[in-house]
Chains A and B, each alone.
Chain A
């Protein structure tokens, strides 16, 4: 099937431009029967529907409790209750949950960058006994649905005495097959001559990986990092089964318990929700091209 050229950034202007994050556009001869493109008639309502939940949640987070319990809904609160945010933040240990999630996410992203780079270099560049079968088995695990492995993995993590610790969320996710696949595909597209020259000069393979291959692979590494960040930050099922102590909650578990305890304080609930979404939304807007590329790569992995 399709192989993906992640170096589209630097190398191939003809490659699918979506992979550059900058999605290209198609020029068409225009027949003007409207003062604007008819596509706006479709896209404007769609954009409205996609964004209206966000706007409504933000507005609610700035209302008084009485205003939230009003029908018809108050779409524009006259005065903004900005102190809903500090109130929501201090009513539950949001700070701890935020810190926990950050520790878990950063550890998982960093360890994936290291382990996946190492493995991908081995698979892409070194001939060794059993390579084909090892790679096949790794890729085959991508087919395994999470619910099949969740019960045994829970027992393994319990055996390791990691339940209710952040370790339960980090250790099973240290290396991800998707990352190995993505980097292997990318390393294979790099020109091998530089590496061969370095080999002749006596450089070790590890040194070649660090000084030659990785610096050429920054777009692929960034793609892996943001996708892994998104998965780990927003993960729910695995934290749900392994963590039940509030001090070790991730943001998602905390948000759930916050919702449970503030069902009727809609304004505070929405303020907490906005705070929980904000880091990921800002990262998405800042690194949109890498998210887009990461998703397009997932799409092509079949």
Chain B
């Protein structure tokens, strides 16, 4: 089909055969997408590395090479260290909280009870709300003076809390807000996994006289392993890259308590807060973050695959 040279008399011209060939047809179908992805994903990732070796600004075309200076600068930059520390704190609060809550909720939402459609909608619907709208909502709910959170907690003798305004409360408040926003997503993934569990296994355990708890512990939970591993990896990746909520709600404050890496990258590259010419340095931090995410993902999959059993 794909022979190029053929001198048989009467054979269709090269162009005609090329048109009929699967190779050309295949490429014609995928080319628009491949071109777009190459231009807006693959090329930028190479250029991003080049930028990280330069003293670059986004306004000047003059970008002298500085070798690995941008990389060696990171470890001695207190703002970068602070951002990394905050990312670790946020991730270690957000990931376990959201996943454990989602597991309980998915099990509850998998029951045949009244109002279940309403419950599911209530848990899923924040997925449809943008981070800015969520931010406006929670700035108001957590308003130190007039918010209902302080009022409700005051009713049981707690608070008042400063929430986003307090250096110690800002990070937990951020965690509560983002868990609210992401819970639906995690719960849907657990629900899908729960419903992929063959009912025969659960029934067989019941026939063998296993208690509900024992069935859950020994049958259901191990079969949720792949979903859990996936959610751990996924939530870690998105937690390390937190940006919108920090930019809009806390602006990194108070006193840098919620400054996180992508927020710092944004400020370096796209604002003049730390002087112009910081885009190369920002690109270097972005690359380090990329490598950290890759390593974390690999470690999680490696550890996970020793614990998790894949069925079928």
Residues of chain A having any CB pair with chain B under 8 Å: 1-2, 16-19, 23-28, 36-37, 39-40, 42-43, 46-47, 49-54, 56-57, 60, 68-73, 75, 115-116, 118-119, 121-123, 126-131, 134, 137-138, 141, 143-156, 158, 172, 174-175, 177, 180, 205, 230, 233-234, 236-237, 240-241, 251-252, 255-256, 259, 266, 269-270, 273, 276-277, 280-281, 283-285, 288, 291-292, 295-296, 299-300, 302
Contact = CB atoms under 8 A, between A and B. Distances in A.
Per CB-CB distance, the 8 closest pairs between chain A and chain B, nearest first, are: A128-B26, A122-B29, A299-B189, A25-B112, A284-B128, A152-B44, A119-B33, A234-B130
Contacts of A138: 33-34, 37
Interface residues of B, number: 104
Contacts of A172: 36, 40
A174 B11 CA distance: 40
Contacts of A54: 125, 137
B290 interface: yes
27 contacts: A23-B191, A37-B113, A43-B115, A53-B138, A70-B146, A118-B29, A119-B32, A122-B30, A146-B241, A147-B243, A148-B44, A152-B47, A205-B25, A234-B131, A236-B248, A240-B247, A252-B132, A255-B133, A255-B136, A277-B128, A277-B133, A280-B129, A281-B125, A281-B128, A291-B128, A296-B192, A299-B188
B276 interface: no
Question: Interface of chain B, helix or strand or loop or mixed?
Answer: helix
Contacts of A121: 29
B306 to A, nearest CB: 16
Given A237-B244, A277-B130, 8 more contacts: A17-B195, A47-B119, A147-B243, A147-B266, A236-B244, A236-B247, A240-B247, A283-B128
Nearest to B24: A128
Contact of A284 (B30, B125, B145, B189): B125
A183 B38 CA distance: 19
B40 A153 contact: yes
Nearest to A20: B195
